[in-house]
């Protein structure tokens, strides 16, 4: 049966495969059982208004995957931790902080004539205060100075908001997966209460390139990740990856 006919007649699609180019590698994702989009309306009618752990897990997984994708597909120079000094700023108002931080970055672009790009994940302290972790690109030497701990300090940020720690990214792949770990169920509870986003990124960032979608042709050997609903395998060669897709 052709893929087109299969999708028209089956409510669930087994072993659906997606191949994307992320950075300089290829990610093949195989979903064991996917609801056919043609039956999506039927599912939404039955589950409308319900929120459950499965949906939450799916939301977190999508956010993590997107963060990793944006991290790997773009050029980053610095890993950053941005905190708030209670003497200078309200550490508990995430909405205001996000708005003011966005304006601050726009002002810095104009002041230093540099194209600052960012990928940031908010994290909440046990007392409810917020800070940020993430990647930055475009900070110039005029904007940075070395602090007493051997890390770089973004002087204008420190004056306005509070302490920050900036370090050069040495291993991009490791750092990309590391920052995605800040997105968790505990993290999501605080975000959902505020109706805020799990991550914040500047406009115009590169995203993964969709290479092909289809059905799994043969068993996926030695996958890099195996979960209850999906498996993932990374390839250095597009030809090796395409061999698994029908």
pTM: 0.76
150 and 184 belong to one structural domain: yes
82 and 67 belong to one structural domain: no
Answer whether residue 186 shows pLDDT above 60.
yes
Answer whether residue 75 shows pLDDT above 70.
yes
User: Could you tell me the pLDDT band of residue 51, with boundaries at 50, 70 and 90?
Assistant: very low
123 and 167 belong to one structural domain: yes
Report the candidate in 32, 152, 141, 20 with the shortest Cα–Cα distance to residue 82. Answer: 152
141 and 56 belong to one structural domain: no
- Secondary structure, 3-state, 115-182: CCEEEEEEEECCCCCEEEEEEEECCCHHHEEECCCCCEEEHHHHHHCCCEEEEECCCHHHHHHHHHCC
Report the candidate in 130, 110, 111 with the shortest Cα–Cα distance to residue 200. Answer: 130
225 and 145 belong to one structural domain: no
Domain count, the chain: 2
Q: Which one is predicted more confidently, 163 or 14? A: 163
125 and 177 belong to one structural domain: yes
The string of pLDDT tens digits covering residues 11-47 is 334 778 899 999 889 999 988 754 334 334 444 444 5
Instruction: Give the contacts of 63 (CB within 8 A, at least 6 positions apart).
Output: 183, 198, 199
91 and 194 belong to one structural domain: yes
110 and 190 belong to one structural domain: yes
Distance (Å, whole) CA 144 – CA 166: 9
Range of 107's domain?
A: 78-201
The string of pLDDT tens digits covering residues 122-147 is 998 888 899 999 999 999 999 999 88
122 and 139 belong to one structural domain: yes
pLDDT for the residue 188 = 54
pLDDT for the residue 85 = 95
187 and 211 belong to one structural domain: no
């Amino acid at each position: 049966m052709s893929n087109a006919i299969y999708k028209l007649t089956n409510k669930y699609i087994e072993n659906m495969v997606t191949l994307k180019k992320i950075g300089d590698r290829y990610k093949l994702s195989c979903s064991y059982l996917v609801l056919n989009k043609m039956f999506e309306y039927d599912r939404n009618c039955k589950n409308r208004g319900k929120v459950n752990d499965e949906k939450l897990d799916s939301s977190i997984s999508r956010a993590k995957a997107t963060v990793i994708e944006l991290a790997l597909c773009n050029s980053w120079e610095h890993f950053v931790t941005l905190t708030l000094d209670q003497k200078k700023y309200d550490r508990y108002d995430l909405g205001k902080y996000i708005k003011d931080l966005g304006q601050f970055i726009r002002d810095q672009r104009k002041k230093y004539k540099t194209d600052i790009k960012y990928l940031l994940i908010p994290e909440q302290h046990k007392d409810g205060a917020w800070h940020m972790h993430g990647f930055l690109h475009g900070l110039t030497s005029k904007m940075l100075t070395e602090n007493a701990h051997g890390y770089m300090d973004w002087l204008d940020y420190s004056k306005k908001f509070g302490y920050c720690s900036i370090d050069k990214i040495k291993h991009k792949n490791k750092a990309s997966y590391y920052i995605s770990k800040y997105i968790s169920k505990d993290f999501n509870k605080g975000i959902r209460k505020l109706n805020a986003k799990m991550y914040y990124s500047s406009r115009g960032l590169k995203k993964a390139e969709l290479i092909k979608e289809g059905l799994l042709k043969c068993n996926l050997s030695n996958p890099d990740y195996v979960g209850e609903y999906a498996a993932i395998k990374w390839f250095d060669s597009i030809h090796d990856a395409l061999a698994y897709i029908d």
